[in-house]
Copies of this chain bind each other. A is one copy, B any other.
């Protein structure tokens, strides 16, 4: 095990009928809120009304900032920053999925500085202060509700970059599984893929069996992402399934699974970010197209961990399957197919001819994330396995 510091002060309020808590939880930090949300689905399913009622009840004034899209844009973040500054708001409330929460984090950091937010993402400036953030989660996927990271796409430069700082933990996140009942099947699946991929990136960081505590935790999360997603697709109003998927996604990227593994590299995300930046594919859809190819590439180098994963969670012996990395990858790939998440670039209408250009985009992020072994040629090699 490697040395680590673990610190995660986000308060999680989980369960049925918890959304009204956003009122007092927000009022503890400020009385003039920017309310950040997405395309307006929260107006249809009643969550917007619940949140605004709770905030009003607690004496919190609201300035609206809807319209966050998936793969959220820097330009929209900057509009939010301008509103906060103009109206001297003192707290941010995010209601949505990872894109909304990440936008809200970027706004919370940008609102207290004079320079452009993007400077944080390219390492030109350090976050020293933020506005407090509370959240109501409506999609099980990114884990942003209990971590200190954010991912934003710079629409001017076509770069999708991620960045973290310990000040970015939300103060409180409210996780009501019923708030995800109306998530359609495709985004339910993409969310599960996203959550699973976060664990898989960490799990694949170490190849030797030196992190047994973390390994078993992560193996359980991967299996739970699959099982709970299956339940949600079979019945979108299965509370148990929605609750399991939601908590799995939160635990998948709240720092705990990765604590002790050393630096976790996120190479699958690095490649996917280019797919999202260039083709605006949903993050989870891009990931499931990359994961099997990346795993095959990894199996050619060191297959121990992939094999261990399958042996621990897929019950090979009971099914009479010879345990191997190939069998593990096949089961994962089949599952992606079954939940209708793409397993080939072709399904995303990305032609092989584009691979060189995609690798050129990805290698820029590889440098920023210090993924030294990922040259443009290596990334191309992996992408060819994803065709």
Contacts and interface: CB of A to CB of B under 8 A. Distances in A.
Interface in A210-224: 210, 212-213, 215-217, 219-221, 223-224
Contacts of A221: 213, 216
Contact of A212 (B6, B18, B224): B224
Interface in A250-307: 251, 256, 259-260
B14 A4 contact: yes
Interface stretch (A78-86, A116-124, A240-248, A334-342): A240-248
Contact of A217 (B220, B228, B259): B220
A168 B15 CA distance: 25
A348 to B, nearest CB: 30
Quick one: which of A3, A223, A318 has the most chain B CB within 10 A?
A: A3
Nearest to A248: B213
A227 interface: yes
Contacts of A370: none
Contacts of A5: 11-14
A260 B18 CA distance: 14
Contacts of A1: 14-15, 177, 240, 243-244, 247
A40 interface: no
B213 A247 contact: yes
Contact of A213 (B9, B16, B251, B260): B251
Interface of A: 1-16, 18, 177, 210, 212-213, 215-217, 219-221, 223-224, 227-228, 240, 243-244, 247-248, 251, 256, 259-260, 317-318
Given A213-B228, A213-B248, A217-B251, 5 more contacts: A1-B244, A7-B9, A212-B228, A212-B244, A213-B224
